[in-house]
Structure 1
Amino acid sequence: MMITRSELLDVVYGCYPRGVRNFERIHVPPGEPFYDDTEEHRRLIEAANRGRAEYPTWEAMIHRLGDRYSLQNESVSLVAGWSNPAYSARIYRAKDVGPVPSLSDRASLSFHVSLLGPYYGIHDRGEPDEISAAVVEEIEATYPGYRPIPPELGNEVVPDVEMDGALMGEATIYVCLFSDVWTWVDPV
């Protein structure tokens, strides 16, 4: 089943209020909408709470991948109570062809599983190896029915939402569904 722009925007607008700046309450004039009080933000919090409850599934998948690759789990903040919209992790590829990559090697692939809808994304520098395919296989086995968001949709800017890590007019569909962690690995 093909993912549509309209489908993704419905998910984004269901969890991020349109036209409301994400300021602290002290900076919002009386009578103006406060970001954290919106129904949309409440849905984002509920999704993050579900993500915390279902974290053992993510953690088991991360351990399986971590046994094969140099991996960093970027979802610890979710467990700490933040309202992240996705699970996220990065894989480090070795600079050299050494047998044991170190964390000083560059992160060249990140992957994300959305808590807002049945979507995942892989942000890859495109190095010729089996890692991307292995990550896809793990995600699809762990989260049946989840689909990748194509770049032509994921990179589209959502002009009227603001969130942690992206100001109004800067957030893409990828950032809204996967958080600003999406931007931490630049593809080639």
Structure 2
Amino acid sequence: MRITRSELLDVVYRFYPRGVRNFERIHVPPNEPFYDDTEEHRRLVDAANRGRAEYLTWKAMIRRVGDRYSLQSESLSLLAGGVEPAYSARIYRPKDSGPVPSLSERASLSFHVSLLGPYYGIHDRGEPDEISAAVAEEIEATYPGYRPIPPELGNEVVPDVEMDGALMGNATIYVCLFSDKWTWVDPV
């Protein structure tokens, strides 16, 4: 089944209020909507709570992937009580075929499993290899029914949504469904 723009925007708008700036309460005038008090934000908090409750499934999957590749979980803020829309991890790999490079000499691939809907994403800035396909296979085996968001949809800007890490007019569908961690992969 093909993912549509409309489907993804429906998910985004279910968890992020339209046109409401994500300011601290002290900066919001009286009688103006406060981001954290919106129904959409409450749904996002509930999704993050479900993510914490189901974290062992994610942990087992990243352990399996980590047995094959140099991996770093980016979901610790979720465990610490953060309001995250997805589980996230990053894989490091050498930029070239020379001796094993130091961490600062590695490119990375990030992958994310949304807590807001049955979607995942793999953000790969490295040379094509088998890692992206192996990660996709592992995600689909662990989370049956989850589908990748195609770049032509995921990179689309959602102009009327603001969130942590993305000001109004800068949030993409990828960032809304996976957090600003989507942008954290290192360039090649």
* TM-score normalised by structure 1 residue count: 0.95
Runs of 4+ in 1 over 6 A off after TM superposition: none
Q: How many residues align?
A: 188
Q: Give structure 1 stretches of 5+ with no counterpart.
A: none
Determine helix, strand or coil for the equivalent of 1:87.
strand
Contact 2:95/2:107 (<8 A) preserved: no
Pairwise mapping of residues 34-183 of structure 1 onto structure 2 (< 5 A)?
Answer: 34-97=34-97, 102-183=102-183
Let me know the Cα RMSD of the aligned residues.
Answer: 1.5
* Aligned-residue offset at 1:86: 0.2
* TM-score normalised by structure 2 residue count: 0.95
* Aligned-residue offset at 1:104: 2.8
* Aligned-residue offset at 1:177: 0.1
2:89, 2:98 → 1: CA distance?
22
Contact 2:95/2:126 (<8 A) preserved: no
- Residue type of the alignment partner of 1:49: N
Q: Give structure 2 stretches of 5+ with no counterpart.
A: none
* Aligned-residue offset at 1:100: 5.2
Aligned to 2:30: 30
User: Once structures 1 and 2 are overlaid, which stretch shifts more, 67-76 or 96-105?
Assistant: 96-105
Determine helix, strand or coil for the equivalent of 2:110.
strand
* Aligned-residue offset at 1:158: 0.1
* Aligned-residue offset at 1:148: 0.3
* Aligned-residue offset at 1:105: 3.4
* Aligned-residue offset at 1:103: 2.8
Q: Percent identity?
A: 88
Q: 1:187 to 1:98 in 2, by over 3 A?
A: closer
- Residue type of the alignment partner of 1:26: I
Structure 1, residues 88-126: CA drift from partner, whole Å, max 9, x if none?
A: 011001134357564333242100000000000000124
Determine helix, strand or coil for the equivalent of 2:94.
coil
- Residue type of the alignment partner of 2:120: Y
- Residue type of the alignment partner of 2:37: D
1:98, 1:145 → 2: CA distance?
39
User: Once structures 1 and 2 are overlaid, which stretch shifts more, 169-178 or 99-108?
Assistant: 99-108
1:72, 1:105 → 2: CA distance?
16
